[in-house]
Amino acid sequence: QMAAVEELDLKVALMPLLSGSLEVDTVVLRGLEVNLAKDKNGRTNWEDLTSGKKSEAPAPASGGQDLAVQIEGVVIDRAKLVWDDRQSGKRYELDNLSLKTGAIASGREVPVDLALLLKSTAPAQTLDFELTANLTANDEFTRIQITDLVTRLAAAGEGLPSGGLDLETAANVDFDNDAGTISVSDLAVSGPNFQLTGGLSGKGLTGTPSFDGNFKLAESDLKQLIALGGPAPVTADPAALTRVSAEFGVQASDKSAALKPFTVKLD
């Protein structure tokens, strides 16, 4: 079957609608399963849904006021999405997708918890991902603030180290589309025997973008870092290249990039 769902729960308060307010209880979606496929001839399993005669959409009503929307939260549990492309031999499976948020309203901080498992056949990889954060945005989503962002990724499969790859990231993000700016502060990326900290700011995002940042790599095992992308070098002294640290600044635009100052320390 192309789509199925075990439970959908949506409750809207009636009386607030009369005063131009849309109040929704927690939206619950459990056991959603969507299977999208393409056969070897390029035909998709949703073609019959879109092959009918197209109808013109009705013109939107004019003169009405925008509703003030407030949602008590969103819960998605055990969702599964599959894309099976038999023409190219690629298959992607998004499994155990779960999302939980707090009350959603303009200008209000919303806690978000997200988890998912992604499997692919080309390359054959498995990615286990988790995210927690607090999100604040205006009605138009032109100003977004993300605080206490933490992501965790456990990856394994083709093109990755034999023991897999575990990464954890923490940061705070402030994005302002009207001003054309973005700021990433308190950034920390940690993995197998390494930790990178720093921050980055950007401006002119709607015109000519430029970025400025500073980063610091704590003392790490360079051999293990190299092994993340390929074979590590063999050295006469096994302890060689096992202690490296760095500090560097980044200045970049659409026409140039520079690392300054740039300091690297090797054992």
- Residue 255, sorted as left (phi over 0), alpha (psi -120 to 50) or beta, turns out to be alpha
208 contacts: CB under 8 Å, gap ≥ 6: 253, 254
Structure confidence by residue, pLDDT tens digits, 157-210: 988 877 788 999 999 999 999 999 999 999 999 988 889 999 999 999 999 999
Which residue's entry shows tokens 């093109």? 159
Q: Indicate if the pLDDT at residue 64 is higher than 70.
A: no
Structure confidence by residue, pLDDT tens digits, 77-122: 999 999 999 999 999 999 999 999 999 887 889 999 999 999 999 8
The H or E element that residue 136 is part of is: strand 124-137
pTM of the entire predicted model: 0.83
259 contacts: CB under 8 Å, gap ≥ 6: 248, 249, 250
